[in-house]
Structure 1
Amino acid sequence: MRRISIPICLFILCSCFKSVTAQETSEKPNILYILVDQWRAQATGYSGNQDVITPNLDQLASESINLQNAVSGTPVCTPHRASLMTGQYPLTNGVFMNDVLLDTNAITLPKVFKKDGYDTGYIGKWHLDGHGRNTYIPPTRQQGFAYWKVLECTHNYNNSAYYTGKSDEKKFWNGYDAAAQTEDVLNYLDEQSKSKKPFLLMLSIGSPHAPYDTAPEEFKKLYKNKEIFIHKNVPEELREKVENDTRGYYAHMTAIDSYIGQIRQKLKDLNMDKNTIIVFTSDHGDLLGSHGFYKKQQPYQESIKVPFLIHYPKAFGKKGSISPALLNSPDIMPTLLGLSNIDIPETVEGLDFSSVLKGEKKDKVKQTLISCPQPFGQWARKRGGKEYRGVFTGRYTYTRDLEGPWLLFDNVADPFQMNNLIGKVEHKKLQKTLNKKLNKELQKRNDEFLPGMEYVKKWNYLVDETETVPYRNVNYEGKPINEL
């Protein structure tokens, strides 16, 4: 037998090690994006909430970057999702209201990843099609996703419907849809573990959006008769209702938390965790009685601030950290592309925070734009809705409506935003500074801050008497929406 010298052995071993390392370094990351509906940032254990039970998210946060100042810049479903898909602000992509179609020619997140060799998949709520909430969405309107089990929108979370990619046959999730959708994610991951291609998979869960009382009984029991802390900005006459609704809201959250635990365990079992970017976030928050309102659209903390965890052990390690970065909805697409070493299309307006998150660059972003171009639906004008533009700096929230300065809060000194500083002499300089920052953001976006109906006319949206795009299968004149 021929003997090989020790130096030669070491050379061979080192060469092999270098080869494997280079291969691992060049390997594209998988992306698993978990998007929930109407989960406000204040409602997680890791954020300090002592009532909601979220052990799996708390564990994820301990191993992730927690972007504690992430906001939904136009805090309502369809505009956020369109900004997520395009990296553009609502007045650029034209999606500033619910239940309108995102341009099928748009350059979108899945199209870019698909072009770079990724398998793409989407499971759950879509809300970007504008052809009615229960209709089949054909491949030409699926924006580049290949694997597809989707319904436009429903808030019936038990045995809810969905359609697959090329079939208009209506199918139904078995039981609580978030649980069934999670099972589908687990099956998808099993299949992807056999593939050499990276994947982008988005799981879009409809809860914890209202109705608040429809989570599985096993999770509702956890909150039965439990005393719940209610935000100080909830009026006294609403507190009993809000406490009951919050119990149901949290039950949905704990259910989702358990499913996230299942998904993480599957990734570990398949040895896919290290090279998979996991994002957990929401499309917007929920006022849930704060300032006397429910739902979203408004510029208060409970509406605009969203949880945003990003877990990527290969790039960030497994020790959790908190980032103050002002991540806005249009910034998500370029940041994911940056982390995946994919060129960012010129159509993208959002900022790439990937180098900031990796510690390679200093974060120089001092403010980010928040807006409501056109109030509608649950915050229509008859309910006090109005257009606004504003800036969020982390510490401060400043907004103007069409009449002038509207709200100014110190979010550190006044976390429940109960002391409006507008017009107060001692804060005159601060108000002037923030107003300049807002003007700078509007100039960057070419935003003239016109009345909302001007934008409705520009984009030829059909609205009803409340200035809302109808979401049922007929409009207010009784004509089928699909024919319009």
Structure 2
Amino acid sequence: MLSTEARPNLLLITVDQMRYDCMSIEGHPIVDTPNLDELARTGIRFERAYSATPSCVPARAAIFTGLSQVSHGRVGYDVSVPWRYDTTLPGELARAGYHTQCVGKMHVNPTRSLLGFHNVRLHDGYTLYNRNRTRITAANHFDHADDYLPWLRERAGAEQDMLDLGLDCNASTVARPWTLPESLHPTNWVVTESIDFLRRRDTTKPFFLWMSFVRPHPPLDPPQAYWDMYAQEAMPARPIGDWADTNDPGLEGLNPVTGKGLVPKRRLDRALAGYYGLITHLDHQIGRYMQALREYGVLNNTIIMFTSDHGDMLGDHHLYRKALPYEGSAHVPFILNDPGNQLGLARGTKLQEVIEMRDIMPTLLDAAGLTIPDGIDGESILGLARGEKKDWRHYLHGEHAYGMQSNQWITDGRHKYIWYSQTGEEQLFDLLHDPTELHNAIGDEAYQEEASRLRTLLIQELNGREEGYSDGERLYAGCKPKLSLQHLLDRTN
């Protein structure tokens, strides 16, 4: 085990709702990400990284605990259940002598829970749970749940609020530029506070910093310079599969927070411009932080990990937002970089093994030379990143309770099998030959063996689940989905 003095600093950078394909190094035809490209070019790029339960709360539970969604108990989006986990990533690092700090989004309950961090500078964005004025008291005012908003009001006026631009916090199809100085944008705030942590940290200890951005999660509000980069671009057509619903009799696409429907092209193009602008803005601010690491002389002793908690459908197949099993929603960017070459990584390589949010905790503990606690479902990816041959997981089980769109899925990185638990609808995609999931091959004779294999894996994964989805022999559609499993509810009562 490494001594405290010999341990590297750890920097975890997460963004919220960024798709896997929105980096220029991935060949994206529009978005420009020079700093992320450099981290990927000189690091390891995991091209089959997924969020098994692709929405904010369950994805962050996997990051914090290293557990699968079945083990941590959050199989849907439920902000009301308290977080009571004995073992967390920041807690383990703090016990090992790390100075631990989070800046930005946590999205836990109670909102100000530290979960092992020594300090949190919190900005979860506009969260409906905390802004519900029908349940606010003097002791439970939403101002108490956020550090960015008081900071903003000190600098821009007491009347400032998160709704001033008229954009809903989940409006994936409406965008406009940020109107205040760029330095006051929440993305800049995360970096400003993170740089200040470098000043005030305990320099006798290694540090763990989770720099957790809310953007490019809506509102789609890039600063003017970043809006201008994309506002006049001709946006490529979105991929529309042969299975997609091309009818919208209820005009759901006109709803700015819709999850599906036919959105007017001009509106969608502006939303894409806003989304891409937020990503380039994030990229430049990450570059700003890299420069700060150099100035403080700690860059070469810092392990850097970058990922997103989930993606955004962005109009693929006329679908929007997250919680769905498709690549736009569940497939995320994932980069591991070691500027000082402390870990012996095979730098500049791309890996195809299927990794997931649960692998973050064991990887960072491994990088720190610490023992990974018993019972952790995730695995350290350092062996993969060093080019060592290893028997890695053969598939990933993902899911999300989501009303009539509640879904279960299996992928091995080559194929993906999807089962909609309320209707029984099945889909199969050949990800190697059809990466944008244009053709549902579930009925194709050539894919019947693969469909049967993946369906059997899902039957096994769901066998005995409390919802009643499987008896070990077959799948049962129509069972009521649960957002949180009973063992989680029992633990928090």
What TM-score do the two structures reach when normalised by structure 2?
0.77
Which amino acid is the alignment partner of residue 36 of structure 2?
L
* 1:445–1:340 Cα change, 3 Å: farther
Deviation at 1:176, TM superposition (A): 0.3
Mapped partners of 1:318, 1:290: distance in 2: 34
Structure 1: 5+ residue stretches without partners: 1-21, 132-136, 462-483
Deviation at 1:103, TM superposition (A): 2.7
Aligned to 1:359, the other structure's residue is in SS state coil
Mapped partners of 2:2, 2:67: distance in 1: 34
Report the equivalent of 1:144. Answer: 116
Report the equivalent of 1:11. Answer: none
* 1:230–1:336 Cα change, 3 Å: farther
Report the equivalent of 1:7. Answer: none
Report the equivalent of 1:414. Answer: 434
Aligned to 1:172, the other structure's residue is in SS state helix
Tell me the alpha carbon deviations over residues 255-284 of structure 1, each in whole angstroms, 9 at most, x when there is no partner. 100111011112122221222111111110
Deviation at 1:359, TM superposition (A): 2.5
Report the equivalent of 2:251. Answer: none
- Identical aligned residues as a percent: 28
Candidates 436, 445, 448, aligned match of 2:456: 436
Report the equivalent of 1:126. Answer: 106
Contact kept in structure 2, 1:391 and 1:438, CA below 8 Å = yes
* 1:162–1:120 Cα change, 3 Å: farther
Mapping of residues 205-284 of structure 1, within 5 Å: 205-212=213-220, 214-233=221-240, 237-238=262-263, 239-284=265-310
Deviation at 1:335, TM superposition (A): 1.7
Candidates 376, 383, 401, aligned match of 1:348: 376
Tell me the alpha carbon deviations over residues 226-277 of structure 1, each in whole angstroms, 9 at most, x when there is no partner. 1122322286943433222100001101110011101111212222122211
Aligned to 2:355, the other structure's residue is in SS state coil
* 1:231–1:453 Cα change, 3 Å: closer
Mapped partners of 2:79, 2:487: distance in 1: 13
Mapped partners of 1:444, 1:353: distance in 2: 30
Mapping of residues 6-405 of structure 1, within 5 Å: 27-96=6-75, 97-129=77-109, 137-138=111-112, 141-154=113-126, 171-173=150-152, 175-192=184-201, 195-212=203-220, 214-233=221-240, 237-238=262-263, 239-312=265-338, 313-316=341-344, 319-372=347-400, 374-375=401-402, 380-381=403-404, 385-386=405-406, 388-402=407-421, 404=424
Deviates more, 1:95-104 or 1:413-422: 95-104
Mapped partners of 2:469, 2:302: distance in 1: 40
* 1:254–1:309 Cα change, 3 Å: same
Mapped partners of 1:23, 1:424: distance in 2: 54
Deviation at 1:172, TM superposition (A): 2.5
Mapped partners of 2:371, 2:468: distance in 1: 30
Report the equivalent of 1:5. Answer: none
Mapped partners of 1:142, 1:295: distance in 2: 28
Deviation at 1:446, TM superposition (A): 9.6
Contact kept in structure 2, 1:155 and 1:211, CA below 8 Å = no
Mapped partners of 2:71, 2:345: distance in 1: 36
* 1:420–1:106 Cα change, 3 Å: same
Q: Looking at CA atoms only, which structure, 1 or 2, has the larger radius of gyration?
A: 1
What TM-score do the two structures reach when normalised by structure 1?
0.79
Q: CA RMSD in A?
A: 3.0
Aligned to 1:428, the other structure's residue is in SS state helix
Aligned to 2:365, the other structure's residue is in SS state helix
Deviation at 1:205, TM superposition (A): 0.8
Deviation at 1:91, TM superposition (A): 2.8
Which amino acid is the alignment partner of residue 197 of structure 2?
Y
Aligned to 1:285, the other structure's residue is in SS state coil
Contact kept in structure 2, 1:37 and 1:208, CA below 8 Å = yes
Mapped partners of 1:40, 1:164: distance in 2: 28
Deviation at 1:318, TM superposition (A): 8.3
Aligned to 2:332, the other structure's residue is in SS state coil
Aligned to 1:219, the other structure's residue is in SS state helix
Deviation at 1:435, TM superposition (A): 2.0
Contact kept in structure 1, 2:4 and 2:206, CA below 8 Å = no
* 1:67–1:117 Cα change, 3 Å: same
Contact kept in structure 2, 1:76 and 1:98, CA below 8 Å = no
Mapped partners of 1:335, 1:414: distance in 2: 31
Mapped partners of 1:31, 1:200: distance in 2: 5
Mapped partners of 1:457, 1:41: distance in 2: 29
Contact kept in structure 2, 1:87 and 1:333, CA below 8 Å = yes
Higher RCO, Cα 8 Å, sep 6+:
2
Contact kept in structure 1, 2:73 and 2:488, CA below 8 Å = no
Deviation at 1:357, TM superposition (A): 1.7
* 1:74–1:24 Cα change, 3 Å: same
Aligned to 2:378, the other structure's residue is in SS state coil
Deviation at 1:90, TM superposition (A): 2.2
